[in-house]
Amino acid sequence: MDWFKRQKKGIQTSLDDQIEVPEGHWTKCAGCAEIINQRELSENLMVCPKCDHHVRIGAIDYFNILFDDKQYTTFDENLHAIDALEFVDRKSYKDRLTDARSKTRMNDAARAAVGNIGGHRTSVAAMDFSFIGGSMGSVVGEIVTRAIRRAHDEKLPLIIISKSGGARMMEGALSLMQMAKTSANLAHYNELGLPYISLLTDPTTGGVTASFAMLGDFHFAEPSALIGFAGPRVIRETMGQDLPDGFQTSEFLQERGFVDSVIDRRQLKNRITNVFDLLITDGNT
């Protein structure tokens, strides 16, 4: 299989959309330790050309990979977290939010958009790990919920891209209830008979796994992603022993029957389009 050859024009990454890569910069792959040209990596959708290691990417990057001609409309960018608990640990939640906003130039750890994927108008929510570990508080829960509701009301297929350390501690029980809220809305969406594809990427853990990420009609996962409920360190402490190689990876979950398909990022758009073609237009593209 030729990873470099793009089958559809839509996934071609144009220069202006690339993840900020000054020419001539080189990086060491976290997977194989090879030195790779940043631009080459970016053109390869941030997958190492040498070892296929999938570098973590943001919500906008997924939008650009999936939506036809990178055309999409974003929603709910006016939602901001508030510090309802006046939470303080070694740092206050207020300060964490301020820092995360200025560092990421995002409002919170998820974005929502609507656009065409392989010609199918689709509602997409995507999480972003760079904002407080992709944790889910009230804003993430609300953005995901609204993306589900948007899919329901406009009768669109749905994709949720998970990448999260779990529910956000700094919003306490408010974060916990986002699991119930998103799941309740998926129950409602299920009645429509339209496909919901859950894409699990590195990492997907805790309350996000234990809610919408595990409730898809299709569970697609990027290769070698960490996917689980409890963290590996906690399990190691509980069991008092080392965990087997490959435990809680995408491949492990596929073998155990919780992931339908481990899919290379460069094939993602084609595979999603295939599902939509099969189910929405009854195979006629």
- Residue 223 DSSP SS3: coil
- Name residue, tokens 């129950």: 187
**H-assigned helices in 191-231:** 206-209
Return the number of the residue (73 or 238) whose C-beta is nearest another protein.
238
Return the number of the residue (157 or 165) whose C-beta is nearest another protein.
165
CB of 79 to another protein, least distance (A): 5
Return the number of the residue (167 or 197) whose C-beta is nearest another protein.
167
- Name residue, tokens 């993840």: 19
The region, left, alpha or beta by phi > 0 then psi within -120 to 50, assigned to residue 280 is alpha
User: In sequence order, what are the residues at sequence separation of 6 or more whose Cβ sits closer than 8 angstroms to the Cβ of residue 152?
Assistant: 185, 188, 189, 192
Return the number of the residue (19 or 85) whose C-beta is nearest another protein.
85
186 exposed, middle or buried (CB, 10 Å; 0-12, 13-18, 19+)?
buried
CB of 87 to another protein, least distance (A): 5
User: In sequence order, what are the residues at sequence separation of 6 or more whose Cβ sits closer than 8 angstroms to the Cβ of residue 254?
Assistant: 221, 260, 261, 262
What does the binding site for another protein look like in residue numbers (CB under 8 A)? 78-82, 84-85, 87-90, 138-139, 141-142, 145, 167-181, 183-188, 190, 206-207, 209-215, 228-231, 234-235, 238-239, 243, 247-248, 256-258
CB of 102 to another protein, least distance (A): 16
CB of 163 to another protein, least distance (A): 15
Return the number of the residue (24 or 257) whose C-beta is nearest another protein.
257
Return the number of the residue (45 or 81) whose C-beta is nearest another protein.
81
**CA angle in degrees (0–180, nearest 5) for 31-226-274:** 90
CB of 249 to another protein, least distance (A): 11
CB of 24 to another protein, least distance (A): 39
Return the number of the residue (85 or 192) whose C-beta is nearest another protein.
85
- Residue 220: φ, ψ to 5°: -105, 140
Q: Which two tokens stand for residue 151?
A: 């899919």
User: In sequence order, what are the residues at sequence separation of 6 or more whose Cβ sits closer than 8 angstroms to the Cβ of residue 25?
Assistant: 37, 38, 39
CB of 240 to another protein, least distance (A): 11
**17: closest CA among 52, 54, 64?**
64
Q: How many CA atoms lie within 13 A of 97 on its CB side?
A: 20
